[in-house]
Chains A and B, each alone.
Chain A
Amino acid sequence: MNAIPLVLYVAALVAYMLHFARRQPDVGRAATTFLVAGALAHTFVVGMQTMEVRHVPVTNASSAISTFVLLLVLAYLFTEMSTEERAMGAFILPLVVALQLIPALHPLPEERAEVLQGPLFGIHVSSLLFAYASFALACVIGIIYVLQFKELKAKHFGFFYSRLPALDVLDTMNQRATFVGWVCLTIGLVVGFIWAGQAPGDDPRVQAMSLQDPKIFVAVLCWLLYSFEVFAARRIGWGGRRAAYLSAVGFAIVLLNFLPISYFLTKSHNF
């Protein structure tokens, strides 16, 4: 079922790339149309799964990625429509397509373990997914910032200069996305700790929930990193390019936590 949005996302990817290179307004509109269509199809897919299993499909890595991709697309569409800026699409869509390949090619049955019942779990997962979507956006904005920064410093106005937004605009967007992500990450982690505290202790996975578990450890590491970026970095002069690098590193860790660690390493989060 995740293949239909994937196909639309691939079409959007091609259109965003073409629009980035040639800047024809029609192609740009087509790109947005494909992406909106993809988001609608994806919402339908996730909605149907929700109806079927009676909760948002997030309990295994595959379906969590699918939901994450949908959130990322929605966050991006919001940014595009509020800034009238399509250049970022060419950078976001590769990530969207790459991630959507996982649920499309390797779907896992959605089964909610007994221990995961209750509203706290839903808040925990959805706020974390939203945090990760924001960080993904911040990361892409950061990459764009660095590209534009390099063109301006080198005084050579090549391919990217005219196509990318202004540095200061990118910096502000990065700050906002990071801050939204940080708030969601904080909520997700706090709710997670509360939930773990009241969860039935006889499940081996709940017993494994401590800082020694790689997934939890890396999540806390992320929180520390993003807290630094949100509150301290700019005060010690780590604005602009350094903040952009921080966003990229932060999201790399998030991805690491989201994919390989979830699949292979964690003992506490393999539901």
Chain B
Amino acid sequence: MHLLLVGISHRTAPVELRERLDFQARGIENALATLGDRHATSEAVIVSTCNRAELYAACEDVNAGRAAIADFISDYHGIERSAMLPHVYDVTDLEAARHLFRVAAGLDSLVVGEPQILGQVKDAHTAAASARTAGTFLNRLFHASFAVGKRVRTETGLGAGAVSVSFAAVSLSKKIFGDLKGRNVLVIGAGEMGKLTALHMKSQGVHQVTIVSRTIAHAARTAEAIGGASAAPWEELDTLLGAADIVITATGAATAILTKAHLEAVMHPRRNRPLFIIDIAMPRDVEAAAGDIEQVFLYNIDDLQATVRENLARRASEVSRAESIVNEEVEKFGQWLSSRGAIPTVVALRQRFESIRKAELERLASALPPDTRGRVDDITRLIVEKLLLTPTEQLKSVTDPETVGTYAEALTRLFNLDQKPPDTSTPRDATDDHRVEPFIRPGSR
């Protein structure tokens, strides 16, 4: 059994193609069911986000599986193979595991370290689990990937720091005020940038957002667009400044609308309650010297962009730590995979013993009275089980692939596992012996 990944991502495919390969539009479950109907793979999970569409599968024959999945994708989305294939990548086994681990860690994301991807990978697995297309193999793989995502998030700074201007404004506010609930936000200017940042603040649960503009109608329109915000006339600016905790200025004014002297006068009755001013206007709305006032924290668009750059650089410096976590986990997964390598041998060995037992029992059948036949059947089965218990456990505990190979070869030779067993009674048993079904637990037969 092999692990196979076939997919496209923002690294290989333009957005037009990614849009067409979106599996979520018609439901992941539906796609999984359609894929299942083709019987091309024994297990499958589909990870589909706006930046990637990836199919993880477990299959016996990698080449056949690869072709079947590519066919499925192109048929399902009605896309010409020739248009799609140049953008499709495929990897197998441990490299596929490594790829998924890097995805879950946020290492393969457009914005490195973004946190949503781990949830999306979890959703993908949940969908496959409820569609019953994820089995032992992919369950293990995906659970390992969740662990990687969690480790990278807690042990490295890969996801730390805001990497967009409006998120940087929110995280700065949190470093000043802690919780933003109950805080008042004042937006000066009715432009688009101010609206966006205010929306971001609103989503953090601030108490009130007030828009003030020279033209009250503009303010009212923006307030409506934000939803739950109120508009106020320009004359109330000073009162509003007195009550605000966070001020966003984004007017098109040519000169500063808030001078240091003005803000000093506003700050006095506030008894030095901190005031966070985000000046995202160009040219600036707030005199730079206002930042010298004790409890005024003044940030302009350049400052915010600088923090974003700084955070991106810091994330980049954490990549190698995250990669080494991925490496560790790939190695662990590899060990598990190797230990699974012994399973075909175990199954074959058990089938061998069972067929001998059945054959002998068959021969005895005529000589035994009917009431003892059942007991003999039980006793012989028990003997075989007990004889096989230790070798089975020993085989499963081996993780080194070379040793697994040696053991398998020795057992195959000693018990003639790859040939028809001598004097089998019924043809049915003989054909059964050859079919090795690796992913069925020996005990479940």
Contact = CB atoms under 8 A, between A and B. Distances in A.
A155 B303 contact: yes
Contacts of A198: none
Contacts of B30: none
Nearest to A239: B272
A157 interface: yes
Given A155-B299, A157-B310, A237-B268, A169 B178 contact: yes
A54 interface: no
**B interface, size bucket:** 20 to 34
Given A148-B175, A162-B160, A165-B178, A153 B274 contact: no
B307 interface: yes
A244 B24 CA distance: 54
A69 B303 CA distance: 43
A166 B176 contact: yes
B306 interface: yes
Contacts of B120: none
B155 interface: yes
Interface string A159-185: 001100111110000000000000000
Given A162-B161, A235-B271, A240-B272, A167 B176 contact: yes
B260 interface: no
A34 to B, nearest CB: 20
B295 A240 contact: yes
Given A152-B297, A240-B294, A168 B271 contact: no
Interface string B143-183: 00000000000110100110000000000101111100000
Nearest to A155: B303
A24 interface: yes
A2 B172 CA distance: 44
**A interface, size bucket:** 20 to 34
Interface string B274-301: 1000000000000000010011010100
Contacts of B161: 157, 162
A153 B294 CA distance: 9
Contacts of B299: 155
B273 interface: yes
A161 B175 contact: yes
Contact of A25 (B154, B176, B177): B154
B155 A239 contact: no
A263 interface: no
Contacts of B274: 167-168, 240
B160 A166 contact: no
A238 interface: yes
Contacts of B273: 239
Nearest to A237: B272
A129 B299 CA distance: 43
Interface in B385-415: none
Given A166-B174, A166-B177, A241-B294, A24 B272 contact: no
A234 interface: yes
B426 to A, nearest CB: 59
A161 B161 CA distance: 10
Interface in A225-249: 234-235, 237-241
Nearest to A156: B310
A168 B245 CA distance: 11
Contact of B175 (A23, A152, A239, A240): A152
A241 B160 CA distance: 27
Interface string B73-113: 00000000000000000000000000000000000000000
A239 to B, nearest CB: 4
Instruction: Identify which of B174, B272, B297 gathers the most chain A CB atoms within 10 Å of its CB.
Output: B272
A167 B294 contact: no
A238 B273 CA distance: 10
Contacts of A166: 174-178
B368 to A, nearest CB: 63
A79 to B, nearest CB: 15
Nearest to B292: A153
B175 A167 contact: yes
A168 B176 contact: yes
Contacts of B271: 234-235, 237, 239
Given A166-B174, A167-B274, A168-B177, A153 B297 contact: yes
Contact of A24 (B154, B178, B268, B310): B154
A222 B303 CA distance: 42
A238 B272 contact: yes
A148 B175 CA distance: 9
A240 B297 CA distance: 13
Given A155-B303, A162-B160, A167-B274, A239 B295 contact: yes
Contacts of A240: 272, 274, 294-295
16 contacts: A23-B157, A24-B155, A148-B175, A155-B299, A157-B307, A157-B310, A162-B161, A166-B178, A167-B178, A168-B176, A168-B177, A169-B178, A237-B271, A238-B272, A239-B272, A239-B273
Question: Which 9 A-B residue pairings sit nearest by Cβ, starting from the closest?
Answer: A166-B178, A169-B178, A239-B272, A237-B272, A168-B177, A155-B303, A167-B176, A168-B178, A237-B271
Interface of A: 23-25, 148, 152-153, 155, 157, 161-162, 165-169, 234-235, 237-241
Interface of B: 154-155, 157, 160-161, 172, 174-178, 268, 271-274, 291, 294-295, 297, 299, 303, 306-307, 310
Given A239-B271, A240-B294, 12 more contacts: A23-B157, A153-B291, A155-B307, A165-B178, A167-B175, A167-B177, A167-B274, A168-B178, A235-B271, A237-B268, A239-B295, A240-B274
